């Protein structure tokens, strides 16, 4: 881990194009930049993108989008932090921002979580669901779910 200085801010309603390279580098470093890879981000017009920024430089990304599954209404996707920024709480800030977004609209969250990110989700109150599964080229994941206080029946 590189020790980086400066304040990290989380911003919502970031244009997908502003986060596309961070998303690629943090989640799919084995893929080349392409319009096909970026097109997935804009396919759902209801997706809301958040970014972690150090100054004006994006260093992390997350998206929330309406997708009902696993008794939850909103899905977290494209959560990633640049490798040299990991281990400093940036990822937790992004997931907390997603939780705050879901709470504000009175909805629960679910995500297909990579194994290495499970500890972040667990610390923030997400519960595992089902068995581990593998996504080709990406790796082992597990479904995690979270409900705002008072929402779960």
Q: What is the pLDDT of residues 94-119, one digit of tens each?
A: 999 999 999 999 999 999 999 999 99
Q: What is the pLDDT of residues 28-75, one digit of tens each?
A: 888 777 777 677 778 888 999 999 999 999 999 999 999 999 999 999
Closest by alpha carbon to 146, among 136, 132, 113? 113
What mean pLDDT, rounded, does the chain reach?
A: 90
Domains assigned to the chain = 8-146 (3.40.630.30)
**DSSP label of 44:** S
* pLDDT at residue 1 greater than cutoff 50: no
């Amino acid at each position: 881990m590189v020790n980086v200085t400066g304040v990290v801010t989380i911003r919502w309603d970031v244009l997908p194009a502003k986060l596309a390279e961070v998303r690629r580098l943090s989640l799919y470093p084995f893929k080349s930049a392409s319009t096909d890879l970026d097109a997935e981000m804009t396919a759902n017009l209801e997706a809301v993108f958040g970014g972690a920024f150090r100054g004006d430089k994006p260093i992390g990304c997350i998206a929330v989008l309406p997708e009902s599954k696993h008794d939850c209404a909103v899905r977290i996707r494209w959560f990633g932090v640049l490798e040299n920024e990991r281990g400093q709480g940036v990822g937790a800030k992004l997931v907390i921002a997603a939780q705050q977004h879901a709470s504000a609209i009175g909805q629960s969250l679910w995500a297909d979580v990579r194994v290495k990110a499970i500890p972040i989700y667990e610390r923030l109150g997400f519960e595992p669901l089902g068995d581990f599964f593998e996504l080709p080229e990406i790796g082992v994941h597990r479904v995690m779910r979270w409900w705002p206080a008072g929402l779960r029946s």
